[in-house]
Amino acid sequence: MNKRLKLGSLFAISTMYVSSVLAITVTDKANKLAQENIIIDSHIDVPYRLEEKWVDVTKATEDGDFDYPRAKQGGLNAPFMSIYIPASLDNSANSTKLADKLIDYVEAIVGRAPDKFAIANSTTEVEQQFAKGLISLPLGMENGSPIQGDLANLQHFYERGIRYITLAHSQANHIADSSYDLRRKWKGLSPFGKELVAEMNKVGVLIDISHVSDAAFYQALEISKTPVIASHSSLRAFTPGFERNMDDDMIKALGKNGGVIQINFGSTFVTKRANVWSKKRSADQKKAAEELGKDSDEFKSFSTKYAEENPLPYATLDSVLDHIDHVVKLIGIDHVGIGSDFDGVGDSLPTDLKDVSAYPNLIQGLLNRGYSDAHIIQILSGNFMRVWKANEDYAAKH
């Protein structure tokens, strides 16, 4: 299991607790849709997983959510590799070094298996590589810290393949405020952040508003001349008070912008019950640290004991489908997609959506809810490709 768990998700959860799995019958039609169409998942945390422990994902792996055999089984052929930079490295040259290192890992995956994988720098390359039977690996940077206030670094990372940047992560950085950071240093975007958004439009790097504060979201939309993305966010309507998710007004604004929200699968992102569980667990952990001391044996066993005594109430496939339905009812079919956060939310994934082999389950769920083939294809990749192409076209003209 990946030990790097983002704020708003879980810390390590004991695998001794196994949730009940809701069986879903996947039809040949669902499998065919998965295998015959481009599937873009806009946020998978393989590179940082490899930073913590190198494994060869070109072959079957014992842990994690992604490897080549499971991707092929699920029909996944265009997963964005997240170049995740912890907020602890903000304002440090190490953030830029780590970003380059994580990109090197993705290039190493391709180098090990050029018959299986290829870097994708454009929508055209995704389409061409899909036709060849290759899995495309486009890149997105999670946390703009490596830009270091220097637009030359934006160009550097564009040339290395970065095609979206999540402006901030769990703390305010030099670009934007974070939804998790209550200090609101910039009251939205910093002066440099506003300059960066405009320059990202010109270069052809998509603006990702996942993780940022509400004020930063609206300011980014006001400045951007192109549609933006939420690469791995879900809906606040289902998790009241959780600013990391988007509320209905933000979703409507995203629709007017022409953008797309890519739904995060993590249980704490998609159900109120799991979200409340996560907040209580964090509070209980903080209290235990104060009472027991962080270096004590009792505190070190906190996660395992807590999970045994208070198991996570896992979300289900239907929970994720409810988020997709809500977006469609609110602003239409053109603005929703998949941003699972596989390998980034630890053991908090819903039943029937536990790894990258599970996209046919999602497709079957959509079929069961009455979605047409054409609309499902939009959700799988069409909507994201439209936004990506719009950014490419704008950059070509500017």
- What is the per-residue pLDDT across 17-42, written as a single tens digit (0 to 9) for each? 233 345 799 999 999 999 999 999 99
Say if CB 119 and CB 104 are below 8 A apart: no
Average pLDDT, the chain: 93
**Cα separations in angstroms, 381 against 49, 208, 281:** 24, 17, 35
pLDDT at residue 158 greater than cutoff 90: yes
Task: Return the minimum-mean-pLDDT range out of 19-28, 60-69, 94-103, 314-323.
Answer: 19-28
- The CATH architecture annotation of domain 28-397 reads Alpha-Beta Barrel (3.20)
If we measure between CA atoms, which residue out of 332, 359, 143, 330 comes closest to residue 232? 143
Q: What is the pLDDT of residue 293?
A: 86
Sign of CA dihedral 212, 216, 218, 224: negative
- The stretch 235-262 carries a mean pLDDT of 98
- Average the pLDDT over 57-63 and give the result: 97
Summarised one tens digit per residue, pLDDT across range 293-323 is 888 888 888 878 888 899 999 999 999 999 9
Confidence (pTM): 0.93
**Residue 286 — pLDDT band, cuts 50, 70, 90?**
confident
Tally Cβ neighbours within 10 Å of residue 230.
31
| pLDDT score of 180 more than 60 | yes
Task: Specify the pLDDT at position 14.
Answer: 31
Selected residue with higher pLDDT from 295 and 69: 69
